Structures are given as structure tokens and as C-alpha cells.
Amino acid sequence: MRSFNIRLILVVSLASLAGCSSHKPLQVTGIQLGRSLNADNTVAGHTTRYSPHDTIHVSVLTAGVGSGTISVRWMYGPRVLDEPKKQVSYTDVAATDFSLQSPAGFPEGEYSVEAFVDGQSVGKRTFHIESAR
């Protein structure tokens, strides 16, 4: 009987541990572009028009419990500028931020940023670099 109780406790414990380690996917609720960030990493001053020396910020908004890799792909035409990644684990609403800057200044034109969760695209935003006139 004692052996049965120990086995039962072991099976229940292992089942509980297996349930705790389950990977819940992140639920993306939005993608924001702007010139600056708020304290919670959401974007302040939303825009899609920038000057050559601006820093471009993007925040990937998520809700609920989940973990995974959030990444973005910054593009200028067909050229990849950067592909940063962040491993995250959240228990509530969150914003994961990324930024792009060029000390020499960006050339004028159309750019895009695509967001990914665990390698799967979750959205794309287009923005423009324009010289001040």
C-alpha cells in the first residue's frame, strides 16, 4: 500500500510539473510605430513619417500569459537593415520595444518593419523617411 501511495504521489507531481512547463503562445494585440517610448515601452507620438536623423521605435503589444521570441525585420526596399530578437515571458499585458537609428542619417524613401512571434509573421507596418522641407 505504501508503495502505491508513493507511486501515486510521484505520478501526480510529474503531471503537475508537465502542466507548468507548457508553452503558451503570445497573443499579439497591436504593433505601434513612433518617435519615442512611454515608460511601459508603448509608443508615444505615433507616426509613419520621419526625418533622416530620427530614431524609429516599434512596440509589439501582447496580452495575457505567454512566452516566446519576438523579433522584427527592418527593411529599406528589398534590403534588410536589422533583425533583432528578444526572448520574453509575460503574465499580463506587455509591450516589447525595438528601435532603429542611423548616425549618418537614413536615405529618403519607403521603409517597413515586420514583427514575428516564434518566427511567424504577426504584422507589418510601412513608414517613410523624408527630408525637412
pLDDT tens-digit profile of 18-32?
Answer: 444 447 889 999 999
pTM: 0.81
Q: Which of 125, 123, 127, 124 is nearest to 110 (CA)?
A: 127
Q: CATH says 22-129 is which class? A: mainly beta
The answer to whether residue 40 scores a pLDDT higher than 90 is: yes
What are the domain boundaries of the chain? Answer: 22-129
The answer to whether residue 107 scores a pLDDT higher than 80 is: yes
Cβ atoms 29, 121 nearer than 8 A: no
pLDDT at 20: 47
pLDDT at 7: 59
